Amino acid sequence: MSSDDSDIFSDDYTRYKQHFRNIYPDNHDRFWFEDGEACIIVDGSRYKLHASLLKRHSPFLRNKLHAIPSRAAHNHRRDDLILEVKKDAFELILSLLYPQTLGALPHFTETEWASVLEAASQLELTTAVNAAMKHLGRRGYTAGLLRTSMDTRNDALQYTIFKKLCTRSKGLTPEEGEILGVKKLVAVANARERCKGGADWDTIWADLRLQVLTDQDL
């Protein structure tokens, strides 16, 4: 058996395990609220959360939960919402939404904040995205996130990072310019000028994204 065949079987086994865990998930100890209306499964763990809170902070979850019948709150597992995000990152996000000390943010490491940003961008959880960007921006971690977004080709994360680069008052750092390369650097510079002129960011991103993706040979 070749190494390629082994990789295929390994990937299939990983997907099978994840599928099995999602069929028979374990209720989470901390993030299981009896008065919750939304049951969500992430990598074998089941969370019972407050739909109003999730809908308020995330257009993505608002649309997903809107399509689920109200009976889902009564343990009908066929109506659970399965999210394809990293479990650790999802629980970090829940720690932000359900802080143990009212009004206090949890103390995360840079790596944890980066995980929060990636997952929150995917789930369109604006509050968590802003919190992560605020903390990582203070620590000069934007370049690292930019590199991650380019390496992983994570569209949601790229949207968040490029918006930060294009709308902030501070110019690009040499490290950010090196990561971008000449073509994308010119594209970002043009996008920054359009932002200063008051153009709509989503319109700008629609053009910028094509240039970014083209340079990544997608």
Strand-pair category, 81-82 with 26-32: unpaired
**CATH 3.30.710.10, the chain: domain bounds:** 15-140
Instruction: State the pLDDT at residue 190.
Output: 95
Three state DSSP letters for 81-97: EECCCCHHHHHHHHHHH
Q: Is this prediction's pTM over 0.75? A: no
Q: Per residue in 128-158, is it b (16+ CB within 10 Å) or e — as a string? A: bbebbbebbeeeebbbbbbbbbbeeebebbb
Q: Which CATH number is 15-140's, of 2.130.10.10, 3.30.710.10, 3.40.50.720, 3.30.160.270?
A: 3.30.710.10
**pLDDT tens-digit series, residues 102-144:** 777 788 888 898 889 889 989 999 889 888 888 887 767 888 8
Label residue 166 by pLDDT band (50, 70, 90): very high
